[in-house]
Structure 1
């Protein structure tokens, strides 16, 4: 059993443990490389049919190519797809005095209102008791503090200073009313592991990850996909997966360097995640 086989087996085990432990499970899906690996692993874990709904939090600032990929994947994988938009925030109604968007607000505020609050809304509507997420420890120092089964309180808050131990694969599954668990099957994967697995398994992904010419004559690709106003590509000539893997082995640029909400203020990611962001 090689390294990828070990990662795959651990992830499948965590997915099956989650399905066994929780009665109302959901998997948020950003349509990026990590969440598409989760789709693939879920199919492997449950004999080709994903037994829980897949949730896309739509900020209304999605790249058109991502929406096209969403529709293709929904049909290809026969997904039970939920699409959630914080309609009140976008329309500036209810408790909102104006429309929330990148034209009027900073990236951290928009991320919280259009992603985290939208997630809170759909959780209240559907009463999910656990969420399967695609975060990895190597992505961000804050995410390195996570556990495989990570509890959130009724206010969606994450106490990153008091995480439960997980000795001998004993996971936290007991929750109080209103609380939920974040299940993290990819926690031990590195970015290069994700790409090697995509290459080995031939997993379909959005073409935005591959280099294409920019207006300045140079080539660029996206390493991480988010809302189009705050997600920038990095300079790269990698036009296929093998070239992406080779590039990752030598690059010093962080994976989320092109995501503006991460860098808007000091400890922005930690503050967002403490409030319930993925």
Structure 2
């Protein structure tokens, strides 16, 4: 198993270094979840323990408090160049889902997509490295490792470049989304966390018979029944489970096209 994981690791590190060599101002989009934390670890391995690019956290102000504490601790410990993006104040005053006038999709767009688009424009990043995986959600299965966005950060799933290693195009006046973990699975991620002893937020571990499998904003993210309190126990649980990784995420319970609509508009 470790040989397979090392092959995934080598491939991901090669993509990270290719991005560093090919773009002038890359950045990491760090959600603080397990996937992007594994990606952060891989970036440190790629650059001898350093993270030479900004770590961008789209802070909706609705994230679980444990996520923010973990983010700040790791940013200090690893000396990260942390960039956060608070949403516009008007969206925090009674407008947001589930109690306000915005739907789940509108809320995600307002609190995540729009602040991220503003950050990309203001900082001039020409590449964003993300920890998304094809097996996590159907829309992401349409992605490429190097995925172009236009000047408005929009994604066109019907116009994706041919996936030939080392050959990709950058759209004019846009940026590239780069996905080094695209071919990993949820189990790959947890097995690699175990192999490398990678720190992750403790929300993933069972407390009072429940744990989180996927993390997002507190009003829209729910734990599931579980007694898994260690990484090996999580791996054993996942080997037996057949439910979706994101079954605890409210946004995934919208209409079938909702998530693709969000991603078309610049969502992660």
Counterparts of 1:89 and 1:162 in 2: how far apart (Å)?
Answer: 35
Alignment of 1:258-273 (within 5 A): 258-273=248-263
Aligned residues: 266
Cα offset, 1:101, TM superposition: 4.8
Counterparts of 2:85 and 2:167 in 1: how far apart (Å)?
Answer: 29
2:159 to 158, 162, 180: 162
After superposition, the Cα gap between the structure-2 partners of 1:91 and 1:230, relative to the gap in structure 1 and judged at 3 Å, is: closer
Q: What residue number does 2:201 align with?
A: 206
Q: TM-score, normalised by structure 1?
A: 0.92
Which secondary structure does the structure 2 equivalent of 1:71 belong to?
helix
Q: What residue number does 2:110 align with?
A: 113
5+ residue gaps, structure 1, are: 93-97, 214-218
Q: What residue number does 2:81 align with?
A: 80
Counterparts of 2:189 and 2:96 in 1: how far apart (Å)?
Answer: 34
1:196 to 172, 191, 196: 191
Counterparts of 2:181 and 2:90 in 1: how far apart (Å)?
Answer: 31
Q: What residue number does 2:216 align with?
A: 226
Counterparts of 1:124 and 1:83 in 2: how far apart (Å)?
Answer: 14
Cα offset, 1:91, TM superposition: 5.2
After superposition, the Cα gap between the structure-2 partners of 1:53 and 1:129, relative to the gap in structure 1 and judged at 3 Å, is: same
Alignment of 1:49-198 (within 5 A): 49-90=50-91, 99-104=95-100, 105-167=102-164, 169-177=165-173, 179-198=174-193
5+ residue gaps, structure 2, are: none
Q: TM-score, normalised by structure 2?
A: 0.96
Which secondary structure does the structure 2 equivalent of 1:253 belong to?
coil
Counterparts of 2:220 and 2:95 in 1: how far apart (Å)?
Answer: 18
8 Å Cα contact 1:27-1:55 kept in structure 2: yes
Cα offset, 1:103, TM superposition: 2.1
Counterparts of 1:42 and 1:173 in 2: how far apart (Å)?
Answer: 23
Q: What residue number does 1:95 align with?
A: none
Counterparts of 1:238 and 1:201 in 2: how far apart (Å)?
Answer: 19
Cα offset, 1:252, TM superposition: 1.2
8 Å Cα contact 1:89-1:114 kept in structure 2: no
RMSD: 1.3
Q: Deviations over 1:6-50 (max 9, x none)?
A: 000000000000000110111111111001101100000011111
